[in-house]
Each structure stands twice: as structure tokens, then as C-alpha cells.
Copies of this chain bind each other. A is one copy, B any other.
Amino acid sequence: MFLRAKFLQLEADKPIVILNREDAEEMGVKPLERVELDFKDKKIIAIVNIAGRIVREGDIGLYEEIQESLDVKPNEKIRVETTNPPKSLDFIKKKLVGQTLKPKEIYTIVKDTVNRRLSHIELTAFVTSLYNKGMTMGETASLSKAMARTGQTLKLRTKAIYDKHSIGGCPGDKTSILVVPVVAAAGLTIPKTSSRAITSPAGSADRFECIAPVDLTLEEVRRVVNKTNGCLVWGGSVDLAPADDIFIQIEYLLSIDPFLLPSVMSKKKAVNAKYVVIDMPTGRETKVSTNEEFENLANQFIQLGKKLGIKVNCVSTFAEQPIGYSVGPILEAREALDTLVKGRGSEDLIDKVTTLAGVLLEFGGAKNGKKAAIELLNSGKAYKKLKEIIEAQGGNPDVKPEDLCPGEKIAEFKSKKSGKVLWISNKCIDMVAREAGAPRDKGAGVYFRKKLGDKVRRGETLFEIYSEKSSKFKRAIELVHKIDIMGIGKERGMMLEKLPAVEEEKRYFILER
């Protein structure tokens, strides 16, 4: 059937055309099935939407992407024929009914995902099937490889690539900003890519962006790492394992996370990592809440690593309160920089940084990795290395902690009684920091004056809220009064804690990886 091109002033993330209902019925094509467009020497397969009025019989509505790809002018005639769904749909259906997929089948699904050939319905069927039917370790490895192969890969001079990852869930976790310079200062190569926040108030990329540019091209990353041994960049701009972002959109909306393992490991594979330390924050409000869960997930990462040629160590870290004192991009960047400048800082932050860096240093041959990491931090060598990295990424190496200014709207919250900090709710901190504007407003966040076990006198400040905008500031303060961020009491008292009194209790979902 020949149809006249009609231009729609619309962009889509996949090839979509709009047919008139009559033409669609004549062709026997239903909504979300596919047609092949044939114009001069160009062929495109597009997903069909159907309209009754907007597109007249004999016309075909084209989104901008297709107008450009076909290089067609309005009213030119395009040959339009029905076509079969992509092969990958057959494989998705195989998984839907519980069959195990072959490596080539998984690769085909991922390739079609990245090339935006699959509709939301098809992608959701894949994500929910993986969630419901699970994957064998072989499938998980194939998926990780496919996700890496369908994106860019980082090729460096050295083959010994080190990397660090956190599966997320603990607020204020600025660890990466310190681990990278420590490890790089030891002469090991650590090309760290990070994500932006999805459900949390700050991702590592959001944090480091307050210190230096993070949206580098892959070629720039290569240059920075070859020069300094390290980098701290946003994964999104280097297009590593791009299928992940597409799957994440669906996982996020459904609050499920079946891609955790391939998501993490495909990105490690894409930078050709050989040694990886994975931080698993463990606590009541994180993904891993018991030692058993930690061991189970850690073993899966280790096994998957073996299949991918990556040596993996996993570390369970205490996650019942924020790391350090700050939560929110600028506040965290400031704390991280301050710790590097002085070579000392919050005890838990230092301990976590040197433990994780220590694992990588031991992979690199150090006898006592933790001790070596402490030495690199205390001596200022790590700070020197950070300055090199900042400069190589296009930032100002002389940036000082005091140059990093959080939002000017500040509210202090004081304790109504004396006692000790008995608990802190990460979930509530996340909510308040986001309400205050984080991660979009980089200066928004929460700063703690007291942490677990600290003694508190009535009237002493427990924490402060920072915000850049009045409306968000107001809403964050209102939220603090509705929920319980911290519990203060006598350690041996029999006080029954109030649970965080969120208006409506919902499953708390963390997608950060």
C-alpha cells in the first residue's frame, strides 16, 4: 500500500508511525504491530499507532526521527507493508513461558532493545518474565555480555583494570570519590563510571559533578585514565551497556529489580575490569538486610564474575545510618573533598573507604591493603591524585571545600530530650533530602550533627536541612514534622520506638545500583 507522508511535530524514542484506522484494517495490522516503510533505497521498520481523525485515510503520520531517516518530504508516497515482529519477540515469549534462553537469543533481545525496536509491552513482558521465571547463571552471563557488547567499550593501555561498585541503599555514600584517588595513587588503574540518582537524593555522578565535569566522552575518559590512572565520570554519557537504562525505566515503574546482576557486571565488562570490589550496604532498609542475604547475593556476583573473567570480592558494610555526616550532592562533595584535603574525617567514611580500597590494593599485590589505603589517604597522596583527576576532567584542581556552597535556606532541628541516638531512618532521610530538592538542586540535602550512639542534650542540634528554593524548603520542613528521622532515648530504657510515621506505608524501593 502506498501512503502519503504527513509530518508530525513529534519526537519519540523509537520508530513510530500513525496510520488511519481504515488503512490499518485494510492492511490487517493492529495497534503496536509493525510495518515496513520503503522509500527510495531506504527501508525502516516502525511500530504502528492507529488514529481515527488525526491521520486521514491514505496518509501516514511520521515522527521526526522517521522523517529524517527516510529523508522524505511531506506528501511523498511511501510504500508501507505489514511485517513480522522482530525475532526477539519470539525469544521474549520463550522466557515468558519459562524456557531458558540461548546466548544468541539473549543477544538478539538486547540488540533490539538498544536499537529501540521493541515496544513497551514487549519490553515489560521481558522484564517481568525475568523477574518471575528467573535466570540461570549462564543466562545472566550472556545477558551481561550482550549488554556490554551492544554499547561502547573502554580500551586502555593496561589490561589490569580495577573497579568498585556499590549496590546502593545507604544515604550519604560518597565513598567512591575517595576510593578512586586512593587506588589510583597506588598506581592501579580505576576508570570509575557512576550513575546519577534514580530513587535516592544523590548518585556518585551528581556528587562529583559539584567538583568537576563528569559528562565526558569515551575518548576523553580514555585520555583522563591513561594520564591519571583514574576518573570519576557519569556512565550515561559514555554509553556503556545502554540497554540498562531502557530496562531501568520499566523496573523503576514496577519497583522490581531483576537486572541487578547483569546491570552492574555489564558495565564492569564494558570497561574491561579484571578486579572488582562490590560494596553491599547491609541494613534494615537496604536491598541486603541480613548476612544470609549478603552471602547469597555476593556468591552470585562472584560466580557471575568467574563467567565473565572478572575477579570479584564483595564487602558487607554497615548501613543503618548515612555514611559521614552529609546527604545531598554539594554537601557530600564538600565532605569528601574535606576528608581528602585533611587526610581525616568521619570515622565510618574513612573506615569504609580504606576497607574497599584495601581490597583492590590487595588484588594489586599489597600485603595489607587497608593499611596501605590509610597511608595514601593520610599522606596527602590521594588528595594529590584527586587534583590530577579533577584537572584532567576539566575542573579546577584548586577547588576548596569551602568553595562548595550548599543551599542558603537552612533549618536546624533540635532534640526535645536528652539521651543517645538510638536509631536513624535512611528511608526518611532520603525522603526529606529529595523533598528539599536533591538531586536536581545540588545544594539541597541534610547535614547531621549527631549520629548513632552519640550523646544528645535537650536543645542540641540533631540535623540541618539545606534547600535552594523556598517552596521545596517549606515542604521539606513540613515533612520532617510528619515523620521520624531519628530516635533519641536511654540505651537501657524500655521505650518502644515509634515507627517512622509516614502517612501511608509503602514498600520502600531502591533502584540505585
Contacts and interface: CB of A to CB of B under 8 A. Distances in A.
Contacts of A316: none
Interface in A228-266: 249-250, 252-256
A124 interface: yes
B255 A93 contact: yes
Contacts of A93: 254-256, 507
A9 interface: yes
Nearest to A438: B28
Given A96-B254, A120-B121, A254-B96, A11 B128 contact: no
B255 A31 contact: no
B10 A249 contact: no
A30 B250 CA distance: 11
Given A124-B120, A129-B132, A10 B11 contact: no
B124 A11 contact: no
A54 B93 CA distance: 35
A400 interface: no
Interface in A401-456: 434, 440
A125 B253 CA distance: 10
Contacts of A128: 96, 124-125, 128-129, 132
Contacts of A11: 51-54
Interface string A7-37: 0111100000000000001101011110000
Contact of A54 (B9, B33, B125): B9
A362 interface: no
Given A32-B253, A253-B32, A90 B121 contact: no
Given A28-B434, A51-B11, A128-B96, A250 B133 contact: no
Nearest to A1: B471
Interface in A122-145: 122-125, 128-129, 131-133
Main secondary structure on A side of the interface with B: helix
Given A128-B96, A132-B133, A119 B120 contact: yes
Contacts of A90: 506
Interface string A97-128: 00000000000000000000001111111001
A269 B112 CA distance: 42
A283 to B, nearest CB: 22
Interface string A61-92: 00010000000000000000000000000101
A122 B123 CA distance: 12
A90 B254 CA distance: 9
A155 B93 CA distance: 41
Max chain B C-beta neighbours (<10 A), residue from A11, A25, A129, A253? A253
A510 to B, nearest CB: 15
Contacts of A25: 440
Given A96-B128, A96-B131, A132-B128, A30 B252 contact: yes
Nearest to A51: B11
B9 A96 contact: no
Contacts of A120: 119-121, 124
27 contacts: A8-B10, A9-B9, A9-B54, A10-B10, A11-B54, A28-B434, A28-B440, A30-B249, A30-B252, A31-B249, A32-B253, A90-B506, A92-B254, A93-B507, A96-B128, A96-B131, A96-B254, A119-B253, A120-B120, A120-B124, A121-B250, A121-B254, A122-B253, A122-B254, A124-B125, A125-B254, A129-B132
| Nearest 10 interchain pairs by C-beta | A124-B124, A132-B132, A120-B120, A128-B128, A121-B124, A120-B121, A125-B254, A11-B54, A125-B128, A121-B253
